[in-house]
Amino acid sequence: MSTVIEPVIEVMPNEPEANKLFRMVMKFKGSDLHLKVGLAPAMRLAGVLRQMQLPSLSIADMERLMFPLLSGRQRTILEETGGVDFAHIVFEPNGEETRFRVNLFRQRGRLSLVARRVSTSIPNFEGLGLPPILSEITKADQGIIILAGVTGSGKSTTIASMLQYVNTTERCHIVTIEDPIEFTFKDDKSIINQREVGIDVIDWDTALKHAVRQDPDIILVGEMRDRDTFSAALHAAETGHLVFGTIHASSAPSTISRILDLFPQDMHPAMRQNLAFNLKCVIAQKLLPTTKEWAANTGQTRVPTCEIMRMNPTVRKLILTEEDIKLGDAIRIGKEEGMMDFTESLRLLCVAEKIERSTAFEVAPSPESLKMALKGITIAQPGIL
């Protein structure tokens, strides 16, 4: 852990004592707050954990700081499951708010916390470094759009940016179901209703059943974590809605097998039919550190590398015929339709000098393919039809 940071933050009257630590993250523009018994509080600045110049936290300190932040329901979840997710809001004197996505959990019988600061402003595609094709993808009338990636890959931010684009360009009704709410939207051309599980609605199933009766054009279901959630999302898409969701998968092609893994083997043929006709796009994403020069000039310390798989006749046929291994080739030859694989995305980031070449090679699915792409050598595509 790096050098200490001297805390110089005052807590406003009648607010939780823990806000002193959250305000430290806000003051220094950190991304995460880390609290653990036996260590001084720490925050992540530009990707590096740095300790605050404060005493180590005791068991009593953590309980005194954390319990006032929890509702009765959240306290019960913590005691019964060993961890709880919730949103914590810090208000400024002018009424503006900063939101934190908090995970409070027990480790070795003691409380620990990790809180991610969520920007109150929702960046546009250019501000996030996202491909402009995303604006076209949001114009689908119905179907499912999936953001794939590991935890912390920026999936939620990308979806928020896509929904904000719709909000500023289309007159429609957007319903989000979240646990917890991360970004708060202000109605623009669209009407946006955001429901937080456990506060606005009792559970995911109830929220999804209600959503299709609320005259939505777009539904955000958050993480598609199990069979029931994905089935409900699929039903919403089949009934004429555009559904956004996230899933844990490392690439666009592997997202298909990840979805199928939610269902028993005998349901896979039917699920492939459903995916072929309802899936509109899979956007897989990873966040990479930018070059020092790019960070100094733009303030952007991380940038996404994206893989985009859109549904076209070729992709549809490969899914139906269980030839998922060829989906990567379909993405590579689908450039004119706005598709892109990680190799091409990394090449563009290197050419724009947004990331170091060493960083690109570390995460490249095929370093050799990236090496040839950077030399301008195009690999001949095998027949996939």
pLDDT of residue 48: 86
236: nearest Cα among 212, 255, 260:
212
CATH number, domain 125-374, options 3.40.50.2300, 3.40.50.300, 3.30.565.10, 3.40.630.10: 3.40.50.300
Region class of 15: left (phi > 0), else alpha (psi between -120 and 50), else beta: beta
Cβ proximity of 194 and 176 under 8 Å: yes
Amino acid letter for position 3 = T
The CA-atom distances, in angstroms, between 6 and each of 28, 70, 178 are 11, 28, 35
Between CA 370 and CA 350 the distance in angstroms is 10
Report domain extents, the chain: 2-118, 125-374
Identical fold between 2-118 and 125-374? no
pLDDT of res. 208: 86
- Exposure of 193 by Cβ count < 10 A (0-12 exposed, 13-18 middle, 19+ buried)? middle
Cβ atoms 105, 70 nearer than 8 A: no
The one-digit pLDDT tens for each residue of the chain (385 residues) are: 555 555 555 666 688 999 999 999 999 989 899 999 999 999 998 778 999 999 999 999 999 999 999 999 899 999 999 999 888 989 887 778 888 989 999 999 999 999 988 776 788 999 999 999 999 999 999 999 999 999 889 999 999 999 999 999 999 999 999 887 878 899 999 999 999 887 788 888 889 889 989 999 999 998 888 898 899 899 999 999 999 999 999 999 999 999 999 999 999 999 999 999 999 999 999 999 999 999 999 888 899 999 999 999 999 999 999 999 999 999 999 999 999 999 999 999 999 999 999 999 999 999 999 999 999 877 655 555 5
Question: Which positions ≥6 away from 171 have C-beta within 8 Å?
Answer: 189, 190
Identity at 209, one-letter amino acid code: K
* Pair type for strands 191-196 and 173-178: parallel
Give alpha helix (H) positions in the chain.
19-28, 59-66, 72-81, 125-128, 133-137, 155-169, 204-211, 227-238, 252-260, 268-278, 292-298, 313-320, 327-332, 342-351, 357-363, 367-374
- The dihedral through the CA atoms of 154, 157, 161, 167 has a sign that is positive
Looking at residue 18, its pLDDT comes to: 95
Torsion angles phi and psi, residue 320, rounded to 5: -65, -35
**Residue recorded with tokens 């759009």:** 145
- Conformational region of residue 147, where left means phi above 0, alpha means psi within -120 to 50, and beta covers everything else: beta
2-118, CATH topology level? Beta-Lactamase (3.30.450)
- Give per-residue burial for 337-353: e unless 16+ CB within 10 Å, then b: eebbbbbbbbbbbbeee
Predicted TM-score (pTM) of the model is 0.82
Which residue is associated with the tokens 């809001």?
89
